Amino acid sequence: MDSYPLISIIIPVRPGASAQTAIDSIQKADYPLELIQTIVEEGLNPSRQRNEGIKKSSGEIIFFLDDDSEITPGLFKETVKTYQAYPNAIGVGGPAVLYGNTNLQKGIIAVLTSYLGVYKISARYAPIGQTRETDENELISCNLSLKREIFRKNNGFNDKLYPNEENALIQSLINQGYRFIYNPQCQILRQADSEIEAFLRRIFNYGRGRMEQLFLKPSKTSFLRLLPLGFLIYLFGLLFIPNPYLYLPFFAYLILISVASASAAKKKLKIIPLAIALFLATHIIYGFGEAFGIYTALKHQINVLIRH
């Protein structure tokens, strides 16, 4: 590779917070440092912060990281090689590989890297499969690059959405005929949540963001995406309909997550019951998030109608 493009890295942070973890890792990149522009944007709305960062950027490639993203040294070169291999692609991303030493972190990793746990989203947290054309399910905003020119034709991220702002943008661009590539070798590292409250809050917000995204910008979605909401309704139904046969699907579900937990535990018996509980909590809390997302989206639409 004779020449490298300028890369503009945009990192949103909360007021007073630090992006030092990401910046330190960028300094170790196997890429000409003079061709890396790092922009740190403070604020309380990451979607808006990323849009503001784009206005200040000069790079041919825009790279989005979070303040706790730790890039792998070859990330930028691998990203550029992927664009060269797929010249029609306007976006390239890869997994935010999770790590952690506590049993809780290992249990969280087991759930988030499992297809049974989070469907296609598992590719966001572990290198899965080969380099391929993909959609918003497998890409994540803390390790995502886009060609800067695309923002001249679009309005960037929807600042009314967070999280799921990258999902909405990616799906909108795909609907316009643009291509995105998932490369499992384009990796960053992120520490898994070390507190159960932080993990469950994240899952709840993902569910809320998914439904707000669907209401704000209606589009086709997989039936599997709505299963957590259906599962939540089913569990409530068990409380009011005393029919023992209705418990059979739940017992089958428990068997499935038990097998998945045992597989993910890799002979570490202490993790198995914890992983089972985390599988169950993930699906229930995501369902609650989806239900709340429907409420907030409908409330917003009603307020808009009232104002008009």
CA 202 – CA 99 distance, rounded (Å): 17
Residue among 59, 81, 71 at smallest CA distance from 131: 81
Q: Is the pLDDT of residue 30 over 60?
A: yes
Q: Could you count the other beta carbons within 10 Å of the beta carbon of residue 86? A: 18
Segment 280-295 shows an average pLDDT of: 96
Q: Which residues on neighbouring strands pair with residue 179, listed in sequence order? A: 89
Average pLDDT over residues 45-55: 93
What number does CATH give the domain 7-192? 3.90.550.10
Say what the pLDDT of residue 1 is.
47
Q: Are strands 132-134 and 179-182 parallel, antiparallel or unpaired?
A: antiparallel
Confidence band of 160 (pLDDT split at 50, 70, 90): confident
Least confident of 139-148, 182-191, 263-272, 298-307: 298-307
Which residue ranges make up each domain of the chain?
7-192, 198-307
CB 10 within 8 A of CB 63: yes
